[in-house]
Structure 1
Amino acid sequence: MTVSPSPTVTDARLPQFLRALRHRNYRLFFIGQLISLTGTWMQSVAQGWLVLRLTDSPALLGIVAAASSLPVLLFSLQAGTVVDRVSKQKLLLATQVAAMLLAISLAVLTISGLIQVWHILVMAMLLGFVNAFDAPTRQSFTVEMVGREDLLNAIALNSSIFNAARMIGPAVAGLLVALIGEGPAFALNAVSFIFVIASLLMMRLPPFTAPKASRSSDQLKEGLRYIKQERRVQALLIQAMAISLFCFVHIPLLPVFARDVLGTGAAGLGALSSASGFGALIAALILAQLGDKLRRGRLLIFAALLYPLLMIIFTTTRLLPLAMLLIGVAGWAGVTTMALTNTLIQALVPDALRGRVMSVFTLILMGMSPMGGLAAGVLAEMVGSVPLVVAASAVIGWAIIIVVNWRAPFLRQL
């Protein structure tokens, strides 16, 4: 059952785009996540640069990204059944502690000079296992903190802190890596987890009541059966899959774009990531302020079709300022697409099935994207051109999005 704690801040004291913060539990979550996610993005950029420095291989950049996604592909659906049966607060505490321990290990190995590529691969895979449980739990927990009325606003604010961190973290990581190496970025990420763990411990939630026990395989089938029968959710997930698998392939390959295509170093990589985060932050703030007034279905279709076109143009530029502009607008389109998809799915799905359905969304968003990056990295090494492979992949994604919207015209009415 969805439970939302009573607001402790009057609406009059908060701007419209911050109204989800009237819920005490969500305020705690918001602050903890803002700090922790900044550290997460620092680690992401530093890790990509470390792999490139150690191996000089686009394929290995994709392999490391794929290593983090493999557990998501293997376990996220089963994780969804766990999310629907246990306390989400306690499960998030467990995942955050585990992620902190992995960050500490990576920092120690890097600072000591013992780090090797296989260490990074193993830790990426372990973090992927953690994320297989963390992501659907986080997605499903939002509605319990704010209720359905403020759900879109909370999802938009979640995107805003994610992308504010995406602006700050890469820029700081780029400077740290350029000045003193990757190790300190990993260490700061480990410290950042303390804040989100503290925020979870400070929450006041009603006692958790476990649902009636049933076999997890039956629960999983029930969730998949619902997706098969609900055409709106099915179409939203297929469109998200097209973007994640074919249009996000540039993400693990950004170090190659920064160094070999645009001729910049670690600071340039941080600038590209921050520009993407800035565009994404703008999208999140617009949705937070105007989400209830927008025609969500039409905006979703526009943003979904725009994203691959921007990535195709991005692969043709050799100027850093223009590349930052293009990837910034793409950041707006990507977050608009995924935040609206997330919101529309959660608005359609019954409470009892939310964890299982959101685990499929997690599989698509976090599991398939790195696998697309792996395939793109391997192909790029074979043909000798990262921009060509990224552009071709975006064309495929764009074509799938067109077909989905042709076969599911009802999406524009959502």
Structure 2
Amino acid sequence: MKLPLALQNPSFRAFWGGTLISVTGFQMLRFTQFWLIFDITDSSLYIGYLALASGIPTIVFNIIGGVYADRLNQKMLVFTTQFLLALFIFILCFLTFIGIVNEWHILLLALLSGSVEAFDQPARRALYPSLIDREAIPSGVALLSGIWPGTRIISPAIAGFLIVWTSVAFAILISALGFLIMAIIALTLKVNFSPQQKNTSPLEDLLEGFSYINSHSIFKFIISITFFQSFFALAYIPMMPVIAKEVLTLGPEAQGILLGASGLGALSTTIVIAIKPNLGSKFFHVVIGSFLSGISVIIFALSSVLSGSYYLAIICMFIVGIFGTLPAISAQSSLQLSVPNNLRGRIMGLYGLTFSLRPLSGFQAGLISGFTNPTFAIAFGGAALSIFTVTSFITNKNVRKFNQIIDKQ
């Protein structure tokens, strides 16, 4: 059996392997940070502070990171960001090991790490298409996308076992090694594209990126659909503790299994697309897939409150994972196939900004839930995505011609 097309390239194999290790470290770090700050403060409020400290810099600086991904050597930029992230985590490990770590150390280092991540993410998304041929890009997008749901299933468990069997400091140390390994791998990559020397200012480059998106309505649709997915439809993730406890009347283990079912559905989708990148049309994946993604979230919310069945909820979450991942992978591959190399960092920075808004999905869902109830808040998020998709299909002729436009780029 042949490897997926993108993995047949040695440089991409190294990049994919390094990303797998790095993201595993990232997921372990997030779990350990939340556990550590709650253990120190015994306050759930500080968990919220930590989420803000990690998320706000990424939201603020992501677009700027995209600008510099187009101006600087992307390989060296990935090396630098991964090295700095490893350094910050080593500092947290040391403070924890000697027993003087406090909540402000954790928050400050999370703030610094979030700022660096804003430059790391656009650089990585801009870098990997230059490692592979154009026809391998959909396979590459699927393989890299599959890392996140896959590690989301196993990384928290690894971190938890390390904390129990060894110590918090050792769990943090293993996380740091993941970033350091990725930094070293970045130096070995053979890149086929180098950024051109620019005589323009970073602000002019930023405005050029906005202008390009504004002049291509299909790209505005892709970025908008990703926003609706991240900010509305994915609100079920932060709301899952409430669904598990108050709606299904189950414990925290049920929350983990429900989210694990979603991750398994997402992972299944990425494997299929990685092996068969041309299976189905981009229109079906992005447009129809986004509509079905919203519908599946609505069905999960309604089935939970109407039936109260835990097993039905697991099945629904598996389906949510499938339809949530299908448009996400194809949307990113459509962008990667279509944008010019000299604008790739900025476009992917704008695209990545929508992912940075995911933590805020819990904020809007929490507000809606406060006025109504948790299941309505989740169903509202799914409805928002489906309604936007249908409205775009009706009002935007380019959405209806999605395949033709993407193929012409």
Same structural fold, with TM-score higher than 0.5 when normalized by the shorter chain: yes
Contact 1:156 1:287 in 2 (8 A): yes
Letter matched to residue 363 of structure 2: L
Amino acid at match of 1:334: G
1:402 matches 2:390: yes
Describe the SS at the equivalent of 1:394.
Answer: helix
Structure 1: stretches of 5+ with no match in the other structure: 1-12
Kept in 2: contact 1:69–1:128 (CA 8 A): yes
3-state SS of 1:150 partner: helix
In 1, Cα distance between the equivalents of 2:193 and 2:286?
37
The 5 Å alignment of 1:110-121 reads: 116-121=102-107
Match of 1:135 in 2: 121
Distance in 2, Cα, partners of 1:26 & 1:254: 35
Aligned partner of 1:350 in structure 2 is 340
* SS of aligned partner of 1:248: helix
Residue by residue over 1:279-329, the C-alpha shift from the partner in whole angstroms, topping out at 9 and shown as x without a partner, is 111111111122223211112223212223333344453555444433332
**Which whole-Å CA distance do the structure 1 matches of 2:292 and 2:101 have between them?**
40
Contact kept, 8 Å, 1:167 with 1:276, in 2: the verdict is: no
What letter is aligned with 1:73?
A: I
Cα distance in 2, alignment partners of residues 377 and 184 from structure 1: 35
Q: Secondary structure at the match of 1:250?
A: helix
Aligned positions of 1:247-266 closer than 5 A: 247-255=233-241, 257=243, 263-265=250-252
Number of paired residues?
Answer: 396
Q: CA deviation at 1:192?
A: 1.9
Deviation track 1:6-57 (CA, whole Å, cap 9, x = no partner) reads xxxxxxx834xx1212222111111112222222222333444556665564
Give the TM-score normalised by the residue count of structure 1: 0.84
For 1:10, the equivalent position in structure 2 comes to: none
Render the CA deviation track for 1:258-284: whole Å, top value 9, x for unaligned.
56665323x555434433322111111
Between the aligned partners of 2:204 and 2:351, the Cα distance in structure 1 is 19
For residue 399 of structure 2, what is the aligned residue in structure 1?
Answer: 411
Cα separation, partners in 2 of 1:403 and 1:111, compared to 1, 3 Å = farther
Runs of 4+ in structure 1 deviating by more than 6 angstroms, as ranges, are 178-181
User: What's the CA shift string for 1:367-404, capped at 9, x where partnerless?
Assistant: x2222223434665x55954443333333333223322
Q: Which residue pairs with 1:5 in the alignment?
A: none
Contact 1:170/1:271 (<8 A) preserved: no
The aligned residue for residue 390 of structure 1 is 378
Alpha-carbon separation, structure 2, partners of 1:50 and 1:320: 31
Scaled by the length of structure 2, what TM-score is found? 0.85
On the 8 A contact 1:278/1:331 being kept in 2, the answer is yes
Q: Which has the higher contact order (CA 8 A, sep 6+)?
A: 1
The AA in structure 1 aligned to 2:395 is R
Structure 1 CA distance, aligned partners of 2:173 and 2:254?
22
SS in 1 for 2:149: helix
Question: Alpha carbon RMSD of aligned pairs, Å?
Answer: 3.0
| Deviations, residues 141-164 of structure 1 (Å, cap 9, x unaligned) | 111111322111111111123332
**1:234 Cα deviation from its structure 2 partner:** 0.9
| CA distance 1:297–1:42, change in 2 (3 Å) | same
Say if 1:207 and 1:361 are closer, same or farther in 2 by CA, change over 3 A.
closer
- Evaluate the alpha carbon distance shift between residue 140 and residue 332 of structure 1 in structure 2; reply closer, same or farther with a 3 A threshold: same
- On the 8 A contact 2:54/2:113 being kept in 1, the answer is yes
Q: Percent identity?
A: 27
Q: Structure 1 residues 323, 156: CA separation in 2 closer, same or farther (over 3 Å shift)?
A: same
Supply the distance in 1 between the matched residues of 2:298 and 2:362 (Cα, whole angstroms).
15
Q: Aligned partners of 2:220, 2:312: CA distance in 1, in Å?
A: 36
User: Which among 362, 376, 390 is matched to residue 365 of structure 2?
Assistant: 376
Q: Which moved more, 1:402-411 or 1:114-123?
A: 114-123
Instruction: Give the Å deviation of 1:189.
Output: 1.3
Counterpart residue type for residue 285 of structure 1: I
Residue 299 of structure 1: aligned partner: 285
User: How many Å separate the matches in 1 of 2:102 and 2:372?
Assistant: 25
1:14 to 2, 6, 10: 2
Change in CA separation of 1:254 and 1:304 when aligned onto 2, cut-off 3 Å: same
Query: Aligned partners of 2:257 and 2:160: how far apart in 1?
Result: 8
* The 10-residue stretch of structure 1 (316-325 or 94-103) with the greater mean CA deviation from structure 2: 316-325
Displacement of 1:246 in angstroms is 1.1
Secondary structure at the aligned position of 1:149 is classed as helix
Contact 1:95 1:130 in 2 (8 A): yes
Letter in 1 for 2:148: F
Q: 1:62 to 1:301 in 2, by over 3 A?
A: farther
Contact 2:15 2:128 (C-alpha < 8 Å) held by counterparts = no
